[in-house]
Structure 1
Amino acid sequence: MSEFNDLSKENTDDIINTVAFKNFMENYTRTTSCPSIKLKAERKTTTVYNSKLGGTPYLPPDFEYPCNTDKDSDSEPLKLLAQLNFEELPKLNGFPSKGILQFYAACDDLYGANFDDWTEQTSFRVVYHKDIIKEESLLQTYSMDEAQNEEYFPFESEFLLTGELTSSPMSSGDFRFDKTFLDLYKQYIPTAAKNVYDLDEEIAEKVFNDLSQPGHRIGGYPFFTQSDPRDTDEYKNHTILLLQIDSEGSGKDEILWGDCGVANFFIKPEDLEKCIFSNVMYNWDCC
């Protein structure tokens, strides 16, 4: 690496355009890349079995519909936020290959999140149905008033979800990013920086833009408009991105979390392996 010893003294463009920086980015991508399912949301009518945002959920006959159990609520029914049918989606290592996973949330100004306890499932619920009943006539029927607290939900009606298997490096928003990035960066380009923000502003901006991971996805690395709430001892083991729902669209096709925010659900690897969804972490933030 001696030929790059003076890079820290060069200007930003010189560093960004060096073979050293290119090799670093290639190595960073190679060593941190993780598979995920990129989701596409389309305004289409869905069945009770489809992967989707909103709409009518799959309801087996013995299933008790989830209600808001927060002490300050009136036990109102939660609304289906998202449903994932793993038989319809690309196979993702570590995730179920069958069954339906549902995400319910309260129609309130926090969209069911509890910012004092990210895992308290009172105003939101994550439910897994392992074995799917294919005969629709045997299922429960349930209809929630679409207009019910519509202003307190991130979208109207329903969107069909389809998925594409992809792979991407650790995002710049992940709480592990700073250390992971700098440990490798220093092997290629000498720097005294103690965090990414200490790097030249243009380099930091390029890194954050190139390694941002917005959009809807299952697995992989998250995107935030603020910061990763898992950067604490209590939540640092919720390392798996179970689902990310971003803001997009306009008008009646708009999905909007507050002021153009994003929602994330995280789970511990050991819980996902056992299909235990009672300790899922739910967070959303906005600009």
Structure 2
Amino acid sequence: MKYEIPKLLKEHENLIKGTLRYSNEIIFKREETKPWDSKLGGCPYLKNSKDYPIDQFGKPMLFLAQINLADIGDLDELPKKGLLQFFVANDDMFGLEDPILLKYIEDFEENEGDLVKEHPYENEEYNSNLPFSHSGKMYFTSREMPMSSSLDLFREIFMKKLSEEEYEKLSDDCYSSDSRIGGYPYFVQNDYIGFDDDDFLLLQLDIDEECGIMFGDSGNCVFSITKDALKNRDFSKVVYDWQCC
């Protein structure tokens, strides 16, 4: 889906178009998933329960999401195949102050008989800190989006070049909530990670009624990586943040 420049902002069309990026917007459905599907929660692709990630204190990490990269379109920065899994520490801060883990599985098999079918640690204690009430399958829609008005970089680029009316219109037009891969993140409070042209949005999970996603009070989470680190498949460089009202 292409982004249309509002009539009020036609004079600044080239400036705005210079910030356009493609994103894959996520729709969640409460459906059963295969081990290799793109999913929110549930059981990750796993050959042996002993391989499930454990944090520095010996506690199983929270499995937030898995992306089957073959499902993603229009994002040339990402590998064309493989699975990307997102894990954070299991605590009441959704792992904000602890190390996170992103696992990239380049080659995987699609034989359910050889794979773990149920989450090895899912119980009441594990589920109590999940930022969603239901697991589900992810579906993606590609769209073109302008820079998020919640970025510090947005203010640097547009504030002095647009009139007050134009700036307010563009800010409203560039409200980048919802869940996505690629494009730009939305920061509920402030752009503490300083997301800029050299960064790539690996995943944003935002408020969703279907699966009950909620980080704190009306919050969301962001996983960001530099484009150089992504090119080198160095997922140890991922930055994680979540914010709420």
Smaller-chain TM-score bracket: 0.7 to 0.9
Residue type at the aligned position of 1:279: K
**Correspondence for 1:178 among 155, 162, 180:** 155
CA-to-partner distance for each residue in 1:256-286, whole Å, 9 max, x for gaps? Answer: 1100101000001111112110110000000
Look up the match of 1:285: 243
TM-score, normalization by structure 1: 0.76
Equivalent-residue separation in structure 1 for 2:155 and 2:203 (angstroms): 23
Q: After superposition, give the CA deviation of every residue in 1:114-165 in whole Å (9 maximum; x if it has no partner).
A: 2xxxxx62xx311100011222222345432242243322112311101111
Query: For residues 61 and 282 of structure 1, do their structure 2 counterparts lie closer, same or farther at Cα, with a shift above 3 Å needed?
Result: same
Report the Cα offset of residue 237 of structure 1: 8.0
- What number of residue pairs does the alignment pair up? 239
**1:29 matched to 2:12:** no
One of 146, 149, 154 as aligned partner of 1:169: 146
| CA positional deviation for 1:205 | 4.2
Verify: 1:214 aligned to 2:177, yes or no.
yes
Q: Deviations over 1:169-206 (max 9, x none)?
A: 11101231111113543xxx5xxxxxxxxx4xx65543
Structure 1: segments with no counterpart, 5+ residues: 1-17, 115-119, 190-198
Mapped contact 1:230–1:236 kept (Cα < 8 A): no
Matched residues in 2 for 1:205 and 1:180: separation? 14
From 120, 127, 134, the counterpart of 2:103: 127
Match of 2:114 among 121, 138, 158: 138
Q: CA deviation at 1:95?
A: 0.6
The amino acid across from 2:129 in the alignment is: Y
1:247 alignment counterpart: 207
Which amino acid letter does the alignment assign opposite residue 239 of structure 1? D
Instruction: Give the superposition deviation at 1:89.
Output: 2.8
The answer to whether the Cα contact below 8 Å between 2:25 and 2:143 also exists between their aligned partners in 1 is: yes
2:188 to 214, 217, 225: 225
Partner of residue 43 from structure 2, selected from 51, 56, 71: 56
Q: CA RMSD in A?
A: 2.4
Q: CA deviation at 1:85?
A: 0.2
The secondary structure found in structure 2 opposite 1:133 is: coil
Q: Does structure 2 conserve the Cα–Cα contact (< 8 Å) formed by 1:108 and 1:149?
A: no
Cα distance in structure 2, aligned partners of 1:84 and 1:63: 21
Cα distance, 1:168 vs. partner?
A: 0.5
**1:154–1:236 distance in 2 versus 1, CA, 3 Å:** same
Counterpart of 2:223 (choices 248, 265, 274) is 265
SS of residue paired to 1:128: strand
Q: Is the contact between residue 113 and residue 284 of structure 1 (CA under 8 Å) also seen in structure 2?
A: yes
Task: Show the counterpart of 1:11.
Answer: none
AA aligned opposite 2:105: H
- Comparing 158-167 with 144-153, greater Cα deviation is found at 144-153
Counterpart for residue 193 of structure 1: none
| Separation in 1, partners of 2:179, 2:82 | 20
How far apart are 1:47 and its partner, in Å? 1.4
5+ residue gaps, structure 2, are: 1-5
Give, in whole Å, the separation in 2 of the partners of 1:33 and 1:230. Answer: 20
Instruction: Report the Cα distance in structure 2 between the residues aligned to 1:63 and 1:278, rounded to whole angstroms.
Output: 21
TM-score normalised over the length of structure 2: 0.88
Deviates more, 1:148-157 or 1:169-178: 148-157
Aligned-partner residue type, residue 181 of structure 1: F
Kept after mapping to 1: 8 A contact 2:62/2:126 = no
Among candidates 125, 135, 140, match of residue 158 of structure 1? 135
Alpha-carbon distance in structure 2 between the residues aligned to 1:55 and 1:67? 17
